[in-house]
Amino acid sequence: MYKPVVILGMGGHAKVCIEILKLLNIEMLGIVAPENNHQIKGVQYIGNDEAVLSYSAESIMLVNGVGHVPHSKQRSKIYEFFKHKHYEFMSLVHPSAIMASDVKIQAGAQIMAGVVIQPNTTIGENTIVNTATIIEHDSQVGSNVHLAPGVTLCGTSTIEQGVFIGANSVVVPNVTIGKDALVAAGSVVLENIAPGARFIQKKEGSYL
């Protein structure tokens, strides 16, 4: 049995998370955000982050509806703040995702529609595996990572903490992308990327 959930944030990513919660028939107590911007209908606004503290950590679960964008640590900061107050984050898996039986999904990770994850793969805490991403066998994806829509990890990949990989990028087998690195959308990554580096494939249309 799932506990009722409170959603953190009310932007675009929160909308996607709420749709998954609806598909899974999970009770939503409401949304917390700095202010009520009326972007999401059908789920009540219950206040700012302080409103979470009115619920005991044992009575609810949290869903991190804050998206992960380059150069921002907001999503990970919110996660760590409530984790240290002993709140538990729900891992979300869209019903259309296809995952091998031994895939490990850690707390707060979010697996979106159309994702495929192959055997012996781990997805770290608070990581977003976005729409239609493919992760091949023996891959390790760290915490606070964002694999944007359409990313392909071709197998035996190591994606370290805090990495952002832009939409429709391809990472060839046996490549490591270091902590907090950024990979531009549409890139083909053929070799290891150092921690904190920015990889921008020099072709028209690439961006971070």
Lowest mean pLDDT among 34-38, 47-51, 151-155, 160-164: 34-38
Q: Tokens 């990770």: give the residue.
A: 109
pLDDT one-digit tens code per residue, 16-52? 999 999 999 999 999 999 888 777 888 999 999 899 9
DSSP string, 53-93: GGS-TTT-EEEE-----TT--HHHHHHHHHHHTTPPBPPEE
Continuous segment of H or E residues that includes residue 192: none
How many Cβ atoms from other residues are within 10 Å of residue 117's Cβ? Answer: 25
133: confidence class by pLDDT, cuts 50, 70, 90? very high
Could you tell me the pTM of the whole model? 0.94
Identify the DSSP state of 108: T
1: confidence class by pLDDT, cuts 50, 70, 90? low
pLDDT one-digit tens code per residue, 77-111? 999 999 999 999 999 999 999 999 999 999 999 99
* Residue 207 pLDDT > 60: no
Angle CA 16–27–45, to nearest 5: 65
Length of the chain: 208
Q: Are strands 110-111 and 188-189 parallel, antiparallel or unpaired?
A: unpaired
* Residue 205 pLDDT > 50: no
The 3-state DSSP class for residue 35 equals: coil
Beta bridge partners of 81: none
Domains of the chain: 5-84 (3.40.50.20), 91-194 (2.160.10.10)
Closest CA to 11 of 64, 71, 72, 88: 64
What is the pLDDT, as a whole number, of residue 206?
Answer: 42
